[in-house]
Amino acid sequence: MMPRIVPMSEYALTIEFGDGITLRTNERVLAACAIIDQAALPGVGEVVPTYRSATVYFDPLQTDAITLTGQIQALIPHNIDAPTRPATTHIIPVWYGGAAGPDLPDVAQQADLTPIDAGRLHASVTYRVYMLGFSPGFPYLGTVPTRIATPRHPTPRRQVAAGSVGIAGTQTGIYPQTSPGGWHIIGRTPVRLFSLTRAKPFLLEPGDSVRFVPIDEDEFARLSLNRI
């Protein structure tokens, strides 16, 4: 099935690969983004992937939507679905519960689990980075085990600490910076996901894998002193 290309504004096009959130759809999105990036089309400034689509931002003084649509259609093969780069697996330590995870008891209670077991269940899955968004470097990861899937808070917190690990439905994510947020916070990592002092500011990229490893408060404090 060929993707659908629709105008989003006078300087952006959105390429839609389907209506649902699936691994295959996301792989097609990332493969298309890589092809467009490598083509270095005149006027294209950025290609941003999401779960099921990609938005191409362009300079309207250098190209236009009709020209760019034709170029993209010529670039993207009908059967595109293969990853274009080896995925990196990241091991992320997490202090579950306590002051780091104020919502873990509620998540555990609705799942009829102890907080310790709820944290272990969350850490038992290898997660896929489907996209980055919301704030610089914020990864949308899937898929959370159904038993501990928990909807967003009806009223977001005004401040969620950097490194906080949250659940929203079957998604999980990590807050790279202190910010408002409505996800259920179950833990916190000392790992810095976003830093302008690194050659690659974002630690995680769409298509990567993440494994969470439970640690205690003392280990969290030790690792926090040495984080980069």
State residue 183's pLDDT score.
98
Of the listed ranges 21-30, 162-171, 211-220, the one predicted with least confidence? 21-30
Q: Which of 120, 116, 130 is nearest to 54 (CA)?
A: 130
| Helical (H) or strand (E) element with 223 | helix 217-225
Q: Say yes or no to pLDDT of 144 above 80.
A: yes
Cβ contact 56:10 at 8 Å: no
State residue 78's pLDDT score.
66
Question: Which residues make beta-bridge pairs with 12?
Answer: 9, 57
Number of C-beta neighbours around residue 110 at 10 A: 14
State residue 86's pLDDT score.
74
Each residue's pLDDT tens digit, 62-113: 999 999 999 999 998 766 766 566 779 999 999 999 999 999 999 999 999 9
Which of 82 and 163 is assigned the larger pLDDT? Answer: 163
The pLDDT of 19-33, averaged and rounded, is 90
The pLDDT of 183-198, averaged and rounded, is 94
How much is the mean pLDDT over the chain? 93
Query: Considering just the CA atoms, what is the radius of gyration of the chain in Å?
Result: 19
The pLDDT of 26-55, averaged and rounded, is 94
Cβ contact 125:144 at 8 Å: yes
Question: Which residues make beta-bridge pairs with 180?
Answer: none
Q: Say yes or no to pLDDT of 228 above 70.
A: no
Helix-helix angle 23-39:65-75, to 10 degrees: 110
- SS3 state at 204: coil
DSSP-derived letter for residue 36 is H
- SS3 state at 41: coil
CATH class held by domain 4-75: alpha beta
Which of 109 and 201 is assigned the larger pLDDT? Answer: 109
Q: Where in the chain is the domain with CATH 2.40.100.10?
A: 89-225
Cβ contact 81:207 at 8 Å: no
Q: What is the value of pTM for the model shown?
A: 0.90
CATH number of 89-225: 2.40.100.10
State residue 114's pLDDT score.
98
State residue 195's pLDDT score.
85
- SS3 state at 96: strand
Q: Where in the chain is the domain with CATH 3.30.1360.40?
A: 4-75
Query: For 132-192, where are the alpha helices, taking DSSP H only?
Result: none
